[in-house]
Chains A and B, each alone.
Chain A
Amino acid sequence: MRRFVRRIGDIGKVIAAAVSTSANETITGAWTFSTAPSIANPDITGTAPATPVAGRLYKDTLIGMWVNFNGTTNAISDDVNATSITDNGTGDYTVNIETDFANATYCALAIGTTALSFRVATFAVGSVRVQFFNEAGTATDSSAETCVLAVGDM
């Protein structure tokens, strides 16, 4: 019985080794995990088809850049993939991106807690320019919590 248990343990180690892949191994087929697997940095390589499958990740549906910055001091509070902010004028900012998007047809959104509306003035693979306006349509500085995010293929 003890030998049997040890054997079962060995089999478990083999399975664990097979599932714990190194960077270049590929798992194919549908796998079901009894507990949610923890995956540190998966590479998502597939692009979304014309009819995406619900709940599936595609590389062109991932957020490529987001930043939370102060619209007055232009200091970045938190970010992913933003290297700097260019203050172009009142309510007019360019977020410069570290790892470029694959093209300039990604989607970008911006929001602040004071300005009423925004527009994306320029899309470039390595930067995005956003402008904020008040109720009267006048350019206005955004708030201390100004957020810009961009989604698309990188």
Chain B
Amino acid sequence: MKICRVFVCTDGSIRIMHPNMRRWNPWECSEGEFCRKLIDASMTKDPTLAGLPYYDVDASSIPSDRSKRHAWRWADNPGVYVDETVPDPPHPKQDQLDRIERAQTVEEIKSILKEMVK
């Protein structure tokens, strides 16, 4: 069983470490044992993971649909899940999109478009 490690950040978001399975030699140890050893060593390489609580999970339990990746959260049961209450991140050009929606005349739209192509 391939194992991933889920780190829970202070804001509730999660980071998931995936081991390099190319290195697994089935003659040396089980898949799970390999994953844990590799992840233990790997997590010391990233100082930003220090102190974060973590949980080891079966890789197959991680959602495959990443369209709501920003809303992935952790709970002991069911593990990684999509929290529908987390708002979508704002579009970086939302202000300009809103102005286009509000525009009443062609001249206003022209003005906004000119700003966008600058």
Enumerate chain A interface residues (CB-CB to B < 8 A): 72-76, 78-79, 82-90, 94, 96-97, 100, 122, 124, 126-127, 129, 136-139, 141
Contact = CB atoms under 8 A, between A and B. Distances in A.
Given A124-B47, A137-B93, A89 B18 contact: no
Contacts, number: 82
A84 B69 contact: no
21 contacts: A72-B66, A73-B64, A74-B16, A79-B22, A83-B23, A84-B20, A85-B17, A87-B15, A87-B17, A87-B18, A90-B70, A94-B15, A96-B43, A96-B45, A96-B46, A100-B45, A124-B47, A137-B92, A138-B89, A138-B92, A139-B89
Contacts of B64: 73
Contacts of B19: 83-84
A124 B45 contact: yes
B38 A84 contact: yes
B16 A94 contact: no
B13 interface: yes
Closest 7 CB pairs of A and B: A126-B45, A74-B18, A96-B42, A84-B42, A137-B92, A127-B46, A90-B69
A148 B63 CA distance: 24
Nearest to B44: A126
A89 B107 CA distance: 40
A96 B47 CA distance: 11
A124 B20 contact: no
A84 B19 CA distance: 4
Contacts of B46: 86, 94, 96, 124, 126-127, 129
Contacts of A85: 17-18, 20
A64 to B, nearest CB: 13
Contacts of B15: 86-89, 94
B105 interface: no
Contacts of A137: 92-93
Contacts of A141: 66, 69
B92 A86 contact: no
Nearest to A134: B92
A71 to B, nearest CB: 9
B44 A86 contact: no
Interface string B1-35: 00000010000010111111111000000000000
Nearest to B18: A74
Contact of B39 (A84, A97, A136): A84
